Structure 1
Amino acid sequence: MLRVNRENLRNSHETPWLVLDLVMLGVLFINLAWLIFDSLYATDFIYGQLDAHFPALIDTYDPVHNNFLLVDLVFIGIFFTEFCFRWIVAVVRKEHLRWYFFPFLHWYDIVGLIPTGPTRLFRFLRILSILHRLHKYKIINLNETAIFRFFAFYADVFVEELSDRIVVKVLSDAQKDISAGSPLLDDINEQVLAPRRPVITQWLAGVINHLGQSLNSDEHGEVIREHVRKSVGKAVRENAQVSTLNYLPVIGKTIENTLEASVTDIVTKSLVNLLNDLDSDRIDHFISVGLHDYTPSADALDKEVLNVVNECIELVKAHVSQQRWKSELLKKESAIPTDRPEG
């Protein structure tokens, strides 16, 4: 049931408009009820029943039915006057960017003024317009009504089902294009990556330089230096020429340890200098020259990439195809208490 929020009504200063809306709602209901009755009156069945049970009503209403257009013109005049009044108020309040926007935004009111059968149905939209206006000012809350929740739920169901099928169709068509040998990798390389190569190389150079600084840092580079030390030490110990130093008495082990430490320091400093000296120009030159003759198709990389893309699309399709409205419906049904209190 709709409840009027009186505090919001006072704060919005829309009380005169609420009175006008209530009056127009009453006029609309009378007009629509009269339209329905007149349409039913024109049928043979209803006319026969009224003639059999209420002949006096037939004699009274026949002239009205024969000139119903004139009766409807009275309501049309009321609706048109109210429409012009709201248009003038909208222009004074500057509710729209242009003064002539109002009739375009309220086109259903104009269509409903046409006195023909199909166009009269647009007068129902005036009721929704009035309710929406009251809801906008928080004078009433349509979200609290069962009818609104009912239609909102099934509207979401319709939109979800329609959008899911459209998305799945689009993704399926994309998969067909990829399977048919679409030059996706070439397009990505030429149209996406190539224009952004300066940015990518600049970013890559920054990452590499940061790694060099971290490696040279006493705090962050200790792990890498320890790994280099162990790797160099293992290589030194396994080297046949260096292992002969163990035969030297007293100084053999010292020379081996010194050699191990020196090689470790040389390798570490070389890595740091290599990483710090790389800039975007060198990386771009390496990509242009060093990778010029490398073809990913030689090792079927493009096929694997397309397979990855295809599998990702399949996952997206499976996620999109999930009917989330069913889980929402089950959740609502489970929230409804089923146990009745014993009387």
Structure 2
Amino acid sequence: MNVQKRHEFDTAAAEAFAGRVADMLDAGAAAAMMSLGHRLGLFETLASLTDPAGSHEIAAAAGLSERYVREWLAVMVMAGVVDYRPETRDYRLPLEHAACLAGDAPFGNLAVYAQHVALFGKVEDRTIANFRTGGGTRYDDYPCFHQIMAEDSGQTVTAGLFDHVLPIAPELHERLTAGIDVLDAGCGRGAALLAMARRYPASRFVGYDLCADAIDFAAQRARTEELTNVRFETRDLTGYAEPGRWDLVASFDAVHDQKDPLGLVAGIHASLRPGGVYLMQDIGASADLEKNRDFPFATLLYAVSTVHCTPVSIGQGGEGLGTMWGWETAERFLRQAGFAEVERHVLPHDPMNVWFVARRGTAI
């Protein structure tokens, strides 16, 4: 073996690292199977059973093939997710494990994020090509991406929208109740905007997003619920500006993917009326790599950036700031765009994201 002579080879350290790599491989396999279990509703099925159950009973309750369910259960047992009693050959999902894996889990459904791990393999060939050519991708190169992001947004944004998010700008509730004009820039499937449209019928809501499939989904939801105060439009936000049109603009985990993030923030500033508010959520990591070692899901987020956020920006002709562009960069962009006041918040229920409240001037 050709070992560089920078220092004496440490056999114990090499063996320990090999053990870590083996653990990574096992954990990666468990995460991929966790994604599968989430999409098939297996965690919800296990959580609904009051007593330990055999693979036939679990499969029947889930409406799935027993042989495949049994193999999946074996993965979950080896990963320490599901308990197994060999004497009775039955399985149990402990309540403490269901608390972060099943349904509207009280600690957030972490199985949602396991879907990113499964997605990496689906786009690996395209990612390899990007490494070799420096090229980028489009949103529709990622199967199920909007569904994953809608689930993520559902628990980090929509679930806490009225109790945690909007209260960071205390004036918003009264203004929304009276009736104002609101834009969600990069609205995805529109869950947050739909929730606000239901809560505040006197206000008028518009959602823009680059992806037609996400907009179609949101528009259909609005029609189904007969919401007349909200509409959705497919729109590329590059160079966006509608001077003086909005009282409130929100963007949830959307700015860093753009072709020109600073240009978008500047366009939003120009599009707000005097006294208008920009509510911006993005990943709360630092722009400095060394400061992110203890940041939640840092490895996963850099991986998501490698296969999605960076190439999507590059694919639009952008510089590819990436998922971990940093709260410092976001705050600098807001100030460069001309916002008179910029506040930064980290919410107790959501340590992974940062929330900015940026105000334009003084209300007239």
- Normalised by the length of structure 2, the TM-score is 0.20
Higher helix share: 1
Bigger Cα Rg:
1
Higher strand share: 2
* Higher relative contact order (Cα pairs below 8 Å, separated by 6+ residues): 1
- Normalised by the length of structure 1, the TM-score is 0.21
